[in-house]
Amino acid sequence: MSFWHSFSKIWNISAAASLAVILAQPSAALAEDMPTFQLTAKNGRFYPETIEAPAGKKFRIAIKNEGPGPEEFESLELRKETVLAPGVTRTLVFAPMKPGTYKFFGEFHLDTAKGQIVVK
């Protein structure tokens, strides 16, 4: 086996191991630092209607549809939307936001499926 072939094998193994360690550590740390809020769609409403999130920090909302039909989470000002079939849970990640109140709604129940994210 030539020197370059041996060197190449060692380099690939050590580079892959180093990359795996580097990638695993930040993602675990980020996952722990990112708060997750639960939101339930049921009977044409969202529960809770208000979610309080920290300003300047990424966060997630896990939305579960417990209703008998489809529901949609949509926020025009946040440019987020997702449709959920009955029994489905989806998670949306939100970039750090400035303090304020951001409205969302469910398009299948426009009159009743309303809520807000209050960023403090």
Are 29 and 65 members of one domain? Answer: no
Residue numbers of the domain that contains 71: 34-119
Least confident of 16-20, 33-37, 92-96, 106-110: 16-20
Are 67 and 21 members of one domain? Answer: no
Q: Is the pLDDT assigned to residue 89 strictly greater than 70? A: yes
pTM for this predicted structure: 0.73
Q: Tell me, what DSSP letter sits at residue 46?
A: E
Cα gap 16→54, rounded to integer Å: 37
Contact (CB, 8 A) for 52 and 38: no
Are 4 and 52 members of one domain? Answer: no
Cα gap 65→90, rounded to integer Å: 9
Whether the upstream peptide bond of residue 48 has omega within 30° of 0, thus cis, is: yes
Are 2 and 55 members of one domain? Answer: no
Report the percent of the chain where pLDDT is more than 90.
72
Are 72 and 105 members of one domain? Answer: yes
Contact (CB, 8 A) for 96 and 28: no
Residue 85, CA distances (Å) to 41, 66, 110, 117 in order:
11, 9, 17, 23
Q: How many domains in the chain? A: 2
Are 38 and 97 members of one domain? Answer: yes
Are 66 and 109 members of one domain? Answer: yes
Q: Which pLDDT belongs to residue 21?
A: 52
Are 50 and 77 members of one domain? Answer: yes
